[in-house]
Amino acid sequence: MASSAFQKVQIHRGNGDDFTFDAYIVGEEGAPGVVVLQEWWGVDYEVKNHAQTIASKGFRSLIPDLFRGKIGLDAAEAQHLMESLDWPGAVKDVAASVKWLKEHGSKKVGVTGFCMGGALSLAAGVLVPDVSAVVAFYGTPSPDLADTSKLKIPVQAHFGELDQMAGFSDVAAAKALEKNLEAAGVDSEVIIYPNNGHAFMNSSDEAVKRKKECGFADHDNEAVEKAWARFEAWFSKYLK
């Protein structure tokens, strides 16, 4: 998918915080908003593909650039970028992004994210009061950042059965999140996709090649379609 449809804006964190960051927006003004959070690669072609898919389902997508323009060209560089991230600061970026969407016509705003962004979307669900619902893909936050048993909004989460990222997005992490969501008493779904691994939603030719280079499971287009259908049903229910 081309990225030419995106509008680039600068967003100020506010609340006495001087930080500003770039954000990329696509979708009809006034539609329900979805903040779309990047993987550890940065704001690259694939997170923009996801944002465009979300916009095609009747939402307004906003991607905050959490790495301030930096892109990881290989796994080692991406890991360094993620490890260098100010996670509480990234949550502030999400809060400012939610506020921007509400100020520009979106009555309700959800947050979604992939890998690092999945973890941050759950953290934002705990820490950002104006978020109406979350859909997280293969990532859970450190308890130091956010206690997911304190979530008060609907959460849908997607994981791959073959994901090897222990304590972050493997089956054990998915089950721990499910237990926390039950404790929170919120409307929730945790779906584990058989025979799928980390980053299974990434579907472009470049992303499928990158998954293979990272040693992840083979691409499964049927799982991707099921996950997008569940995503659309969840956010349609809670944002539209």
Please identify, in words, the CATH class of the domain defined by 7-239: alpha beta
pLDDT at 15: 78
Q: How many CB atoms lie within 10 A of CB 220?
A: 18
pLDDT at 2: 39
Closest CA to 108 of 27, 31, 25: 31
Partners of residue 190 on adjacent β-strands: 157
Closest CA to 158 of 173, 147, 146, 174: 174
- For the stretch 213-235, pLDDT in tens is 999 999 999 999 999 999 999 99
Sheet holding 17-26, edge to edge: 7-14, 17-26, 60-64, 33-37, 109-114, 133-137, 155-160, 188-193
Which uninterrupted H or E stretch holds 96? helix 87-103
Asked if 133 contacts 154 with a C-beta cutoff of 8 angstroms, the reply is: yes
Residues 6+ apart with CB under 8 A from 52: 1, 3, 5, 26, 61
Burial (CB < 10 A; 0-12, 13-18, 19+), residue 181, is buried
66/46 Cα distance (integer angstroms):
15
Residues constituting the chain: 240
Residues 6+ apart with CB under 8 A from 37: 47, 63, 64, 66, 94, 111, 112, 113, 114, 116, 117, 118, 120, 121
pLDDT at 1: 45
Rounded average pLDDT per 10-residue block, the chain, 240 residues:
75 88 97 98 97 97 97 93 96 97 98 98 98 98 97 98 97 98 97 97 95 94 98 98
Residue 136 has φ and ψ, to the nearest 5°, of: -110, 140
pLDDT at 179: 98
pTM for this predicted structure: 0.96
